[in-house]
Chains A and B, each alone.
Chain A
């Protein structure tokens, strides 16, 4: 029996993938080397990690309006997270996910998802239903 987490209705398609979790924040402009597909800010808890095809689980989105364009550009170049899960997003990442047609959810009933989901967990993200399922744990 998998663990089902309820969240606010999200943006983008239903996807499955592997979680990459950190109690840290996110900005495509500030934190990433988009040409290599890795976190490039030395002080970020995911520094050096590849984000490609991962479901990022982070606390919030930080300043940097550019992320709204960058998600779509990252998707078109094929180096992009599969989905982003936040405790609470700012407007930019929600707008960027809508523009890129990338899955994004936030506002969980059980609290901060970075405390509920572990790196390596297999996740099913259903933005239309407002559900995130941890497939490998019960």
Chain B
């Protein structure tokens, strides 16, 4: 890779060991992906919950945090993905004091690095959305696919160490979705189906993701009736990224880099379209169906809820009572939680017996340990991303609309 004087200085250690580690790490990754040089990035977003960091990862962060201030502070605006637990609700979820202590140590380390602890996977709805063409180093696959596709920003999936490296150097290797040549459509899906709610949008994302099944595929969708909302594309993209590891899609006429079908494929003839219809979506739901089963936990998360989703949950729960043997958990960002508190939405949800957690997103929160401590198996959610992830943690997940999830939470069994 071609390095300028500043990058050479970082590599030589002139800017301290943290930036030296960072640029060495970025060179290893950049060389692997044949990057020619570095590109400056506007923000970094770090996924670093303690469950994935582990004790060794936290100790590694603390070593960076112990360096002198001028050596350890990040050089661009840097924010965080959801944390491993919410200090206000972890005891109710039977998370342990050891987990809380590890979380507190991680937070202290990030603060010392100058990182803004936003603890959110919906920063594009709540913090500072990127603009078209802006290069970013974003963690969280749902954040990357939304910002690449809906906003026209440019980011690869940057895992925690790589996003932190970008935060320290202010740049990232120019490969993958930073390059025009990787951003044109490669698959074509003709949608003969009308999603009615967020779970349907997630199911559609899951189906397209399974069919695409590669970070390097760029699906293009035609046939969708009206421009979707931000929350609908949030669930669609999160599922597409989760099931298929996909980081960019185009919807001609909706997303900014695809004014037309021709533009989506950069003037090349579109490949034959794979049709997706009602029966595909019905089969997707059927794989998770469990009518009549006892519901242990109903989760609204993955991604964190917007203020509009918080309103929907509150409206559906108003004046009702969740079944005595069922837990209902809602995860949102700290900013939205504050707004929901102020607007009475949190109170409505908690009066019905629900728990509103801030700055977490359930699956990043020691899901296996929570299942064991609470005796949870059957989980219901309207998040297709969550049903995909959570089976590996020993849960039996069911996908349903927000309405049916809440009706089931009240009844205590899958309706």
Residues of A near any B CB (own CB < 8 A): 8-11, 25, 27, 29-33, 40-43, 60-70, 72-73, 76-77, 88-92, 94-96, 98-99
Contacts and interface: CB of A to CB of B under 8 A. Distances in A.
B49 A94 contact: no
B213 interface: yes
B56 A30 contact: no
B32 A10 contact: yes
Given A66-B364, A68-B161, A95-B29, A77 B56 contact: yes
A99 B391 contact: no
Given A92-B157, A95-B162, A96-B159, A11 B391 contact: no
Nearest to B31: A9
B54 A76 contact: yes
Interface on chain B toward A: helix, strand, loop, or mixed SS? helix
A63 B243 contact: yes
Interface centre among A8, A72, A92 (most CB of B within 10 A): A92
A99 B60 CA distance: 11
Interface in B344-394: 363-364, 368, 388-389, 391-392, 394
11 contacts: A10-B32, A41-B392, A67-B159, A68-B162, A69-B53, A69-B57, A76-B54, A76-B56, A91-B162, A98-B32, A98-B161
A90 B48 contact: no
Nearest to A127: B32
B52 interface: yes
B202 interface: no
Nearest to B54: A73
Given A61-B215, A65-B139, A65-B160, A30 B394 contact: no
A9 to B, nearest CB: 7
B215 A91 contact: yes
B49 A66 contact: yes
A98 to B, nearest CB: 4
Contacts of B158: 65, 91, 95
B214 interface: yes
B25 A98 contact: yes
A30 B392 contact: yes
Interface in B183-226: 213-216
Contacts of B81: 65
B176 interface: yes
A69 B48 contact: yes
B141 A69 contact: no
B65 interface: no
Contact of A94 (B33, B139, B245): B33
A11 B28 contact: yes
Nearest to A8: B32
A72 B159 contact: no
Contacts, number: 133
Max chain B Cβ within 10 angstroms of own Cβ: one of A27, A32, A42, A65 = A65
Contacts of A62: 242-245
Interface residues of B, number: 45
Contacts of A8: 32
Nearest to A28: B52
Among A88, A94, A96, A98: residue with most chain B CB under 10 A = A98
Interface string B244-261: 110000000000000000
Contact of A77 (B54, B157, B160): B54
Contact of A95 (B31, B161, B244): B161
A28 B161 CA distance: 15
B32 A9 contact: yes
Nearest to B138: A65
B57 A72 contact: yes
A67 to B, nearest CB: 7
A66 B389 CA distance: 12
A99 B245 CA distance: 20
A62 B243 CA distance: 7
Contacts of B23: none
Nearest to B48: A69
B296 interface: no
Contacts of B28: 11, 98
A90 B245 contact: yes
Given A61-B215, A61-B245, A63-B141, A69 B159 contact: yes
B215 A98 contact: no
A76 B56 CA distance: 7
A11 B32 CA distance: 7
B153 interface: no
A61 B33 CA distance: 15
A67 B203 CA distance: 24
A31 B161 contact: no
B162 A66 contact: no
A60 B159 contact: no
B116 to A, nearest CB: 18
A72 B141 CA distance: 20
Nearest to A11: B32
